[in-house]
């Protein structure tokens, strides 16, 4: 595991973009695992900027996102599909049909989980981008999720609902359930890129990277992956022992 501590958010985003850009330039048909949340926004802005300058093209790239809220239509401003369209897909030359997300509005959610797992098997990700929840979750794999679990429907932790309420008009509007790539799917990526910033993440980051590997901290499973790059700002690294 390689850990970089950047001086600020701009440097976190630039370092993360370096990792993504290398993959996209090196692979003939790159597959990117993408994430939502506020942490990757700077990275997505750099991807868009560099693509506009024609330094990088995503014409041969495919993407697979981690998760989606259950019950929010793709047009809902807080759906992860909408987030990805507005913060990244509209600004790069990725073909529309090459961007995959689990469908949280599917009539049969169990079937949708199986469909997404089958899709992931057909498109092994060259790199999987991850943020981390304050409680150590990755994607929406909440504490206690078995490490061998595939795509599944999850009931969100009270702490996750509270943390994500900032994006909604009120906490009552935050969906209670989500569909998420499982830890097995995340771990199947060739490379993992974890980004985290801010004091609120410091404890989760320390548990994930230097604590016991235990299902009570889903991100701790990353210690078992052979190619992980972690990019933190100073605040998020504050509880690590160097």
Catalytic positions, written as ranges = 67, 135, 137, 142
Among 11-19, 31-39, 46-54, 226-234, which window interacts with ligand GLP (CB under 6 A)?
31-39
| Residue 220 binding ligand GLP, by CB under 6 A | no
Nearer to ligand GLP, 67 or 126 (CB): 67
- Residues ≥6 apart with Cβ < 8 Å to 212: 220
Q: Which stretch binds ligand GLP (CB under 6 A): 30-38, 48-56, 119-127, 217-225?
A: 30-38
40: DSSP letter: T
Secondary structure of residue 210 in the 3-state scheme: helix
Distance of closest approach, residue 127 Cβ to ligand GLP, in angstroms: 15
Site string for ligand GLP, 114-153 (x = CB under 6 A): -----------------xxx-----xx-------------
The rounded distance, in Å, linking the Cα atoms of 103 and 113 is 9
Q: CA 40, CA 43: separation in Å to the nearest integer? A: 5
- Nearer to ligand GLP by C-beta: 36 or 79? 36
Binds ligand GLP (CB under 6 A): choice among 8, 22, 25, 38 = 38
CA–CA gap between residue 157 and residue 196 (Å, rounded): 20
Residue 61 contacts residue 99 (beta carbons within 8 Å)? no
Any contact of residue 65 with ligand GLP (CB under 6 A)?
no
Residue 181 Ramachandran class (φ > 0 left, ψ -120 to 50 alpha, else beta): beta
Binding site for ligand GLP (CB under 6 A): 35-39, 66-67, 131-133, 139-140, 160, 164
């Amino acid at each position: 595991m390689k850990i970089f501590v950047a001086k600020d958010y701009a440097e976190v985003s630039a370092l993360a973009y370096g990792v993504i850009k290398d993959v996209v330039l090196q692979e003939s048909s790159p597959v990117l695992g993408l994430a939502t949340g506020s942490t990757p926004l700077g990275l997505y802005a750099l991807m868009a900027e560099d693509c506009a300058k024609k330094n990088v093209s995503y014409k041969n790239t495919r993407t697979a996102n981690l998760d989606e809220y259950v019950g929010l239509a793709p047009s809902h401003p807080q759906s992860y599909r909408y987030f990805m369209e507005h913060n990244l897909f509209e600004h790069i030359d990725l073909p529309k049909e090459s961007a995959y997300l689990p469908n949280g509005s599917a009539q049969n959610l169990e079937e949708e989980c199986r469909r997404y797992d089958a899709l992931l098997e057909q498109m092994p990700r060259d790199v999987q981008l991850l943020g981390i929840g304050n409680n150590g979750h990755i994607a929406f794999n909440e504490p206690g999720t078995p490490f061998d679990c595939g795509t599944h429907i999850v009931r969100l932790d009270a702490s996750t609902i509270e943390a994500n309420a900032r994006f909604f008009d009120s906490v009552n509007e935050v969906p209670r359930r989500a569909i998420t790539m499982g830890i097995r799917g995340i771990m199947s990526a060739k490379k993992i890129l974890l980004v985290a910033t801010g004091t609120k993440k410091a404890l989760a980051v320390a548990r994930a990277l230097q604590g016991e590997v235990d299902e009570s901290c889903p991100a701790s499973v990353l210690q078992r992956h052979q190619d992980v790059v972690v990019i933190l700002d100073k605040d998020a690294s504050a509880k690590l022992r160097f």
